[in-house]
Amino acid sequence: MSRTSAAVNNTYTRGYIRGNSKGSPGVESRNKDATGKVELRKKVTLLRGISIITGTIIGAGIFISPKGILKHSGSIGMSLVIWSACGVLSLFGALSYAELGTTIRKSGGHYTYMLEAFGPQIAFIGLWADLVAIRPSAIAVIALAFGQHILEPLFMPCAVPEIAVKLATAIGITAVMYLNSMSVSWSARVQICLFFCKLIAIAIIIIPGMIQLFKGETQNFENAFEAKEVQIMGLPLAFYSGMYAYSGWFYLNFVTEEVERPEKILPLAICISMAIVTFCYLLTNIAYYTVMTAEELLASEGVAVTFAEMLMGKFSVVVPVFVSLSCFGSMNGGIFAVSRTFYVASREGQLPEILSMIHIRRHTPLPAVIVLYPLALLTLFLGDLYSLLNFMSFVRWLFIGISVLGLIYLRHKHPEMQRTFKVPLFIPAFFSITCFFMVFLSLYSDPINTGIGFAITLTGIPAYYLFIVFNKRPKWFQRISEKSQTPPSAGVSKALLSDTQIS
């Protein structure tokens, strides 16, 4: 083979071999193997793991969800109960994922665990819902919050024009995609920096709120459980808002193969992160109610910004800036983690092979990062924030519940699997049952959005048989499939994925 031919064939580099037997611990990632194959590096330390989890959890949720929880719970006291319950429930899910991540040491999160426990069909349906519904909606929700808050200081006291919010949101999504495409190290460093910015943003709210509380500003907590109208069927939507605010505890499992000593780092990072987040969330909500009544909170378009305006005067301009940085951190952590799902799915043969390619010099899964870009932008211009939140939550928690159910199944089916971290069985059982209860009850609470989510999920069944099962396809379909997966010409290949000459 000539030097030029070798360079062309090695420009697109498969990251890993395809997965084999169920329950296998997976392949440990290396920089390069004996043949020179490029692979993702183990660059996620304990601090970076905590920053990924905490930095992704603390995003728009704590600044958006208080309104949704209060609206559907009916009272201040019940809203605080739901915040606490969501923290405990998220901890149960996080501990379950800690066991799954240390038992099945493959990246990919929910997809990998469903694949190992229940086989390729269930895993593909979850992957399909991820690709066409969950992830684009998740990116759009957090990006809209970023666009709204980054522009507020420029337009105060006027409202931000909707078109300006959409443009700022699109720029934010583009910036995050570019960052994750260029460097794993820089995306991790930015995540650590933004993690500390989030803590500053939370402290700006908690400290003045606690000062007000110690001064005796407790009138909003009197008769805290009195409500004019409480709809039981609305409680699943309140839990959805709370679980959305806590969501992100599972993202480190998406990059397990890039974690140093995952058997130790993974559970430790998860436990530390959940303790930090739950503590911050409860104090933040208490701080809100020391200044704002329930009616004022429900009337607010941005809870944190309204809180700052009522208490800090001109200094309140810094709050939306920190909130926007917090949202940017959530976008960065989410895309960093989710791209690994598509990378792993391609490695397993359930997505086009190009998505398992790695940039030769930068060691980033470039195609897997940018695959969501057009879908996220499309979703951004189609729905409002709260509809997207409910639409996304139904599908997301359905498959998270199935993944945790897989832990129970693997305990029974494969007791011989090495488990360095093990949780009591009632924890995954309670978590999965609660997820399914919220999912099915939400069909009555918000039938339109959950119905759309359910319908999109069901389209994964014919898609599975069309793209995966039917090996004897018509010759014209085979030719189209082969052309779609054929690497581009040498010039295009080098421009996209190679900055070095390969001998």
- pLDDT confidence of 18, banded at 50, 70, 90? very low
Distances (CA, A) of 279 to 7, 188, 203, 283, 494: 53, 24, 12, 6, 49
Using CA atoms of 461, 442, 93, 67 in order, give the dihedral in degrees to the nearest 10.
130
CA distance linking residue 141 with residue 331, whole number of Å: 10
Residue 239: what pLDDT? 80
Span 187-214, pLDDT tens digits: 888 888 888 888 888 888 899 889 988 8
Residue 362 has pLDDT above 50, yes or no: yes
Find, among 37, 143, 7, the residue nearest to 357 by Cα.
37
Pairing of strands 13-14, 357-358: antiparallel
C-alpha R_g of the chain: 23
pLDDT of residue 29: 37
Question: 227-281, pLDDT tens digit by residue?
Answer: 656 566 667 778 877 887 888 888 888 888 888 888 888 999 998 999 889 888 9
Give the range among 135-139, 328-332, 380-384 with minimum mean pLDDT: 380-384
Q: How far apart are CA 59 and CA 428, in angstroms?
A: 26
State how far the Cα of 332 lies from the Cα of 59, in Å rounded to an integer. 11
68 near 259, Cβ under 8 Å? no
d(CA 222, CA 245): 26
Residue 96 has what pLDDT?
93
If you average pLDDT over residues 309-318, what whole number do you get?
78
Distance CA(462)–CA(398), nearest Å, equals 19
Count other C-beta atoms under 10 Å from residue 55's C-beta: 31
> Could you give the CA distance from residue 11 to residue 9 in angstroms, rounded to a whole number?
6
Coil, strand or helix at 60: coil
Task: Report the pLDDT averaged over residues 445-473.
Answer: 78
> For residue 408, is pLDDT > 80?
yes
- Given a cut of 60, is residue 66 above it in pLDDT? yes
pLDDT at 317 over 70: yes
User: In this model, does residue 78 exceed pLDDT 70?
Assistant: yes
Residue among 398, 397, 401, 395 nearest 432 (CA): 401
Count of H-run helices and E-run strands, the chain: 22, 2
- 2, 485, 185, 101: CA torsion to nearest 10: -120
For residue 93, the model assigns a pLDDT of: 93
- How many other C-beta atoms are found inside a 10 Å radius of the C-beta of residue 385? 15
Q: What is d(CA 296, CA 200) in angstroms, rounded to the nearest whole number?
A: 24
- Predicted model pTM: 0.79
Q: What is the pLDDT of residues 388-403, one digit of tens each?
A: 666 667 788 889 999 9
- Contact present, 289 and 76 (Cβ < 8 Å): yes
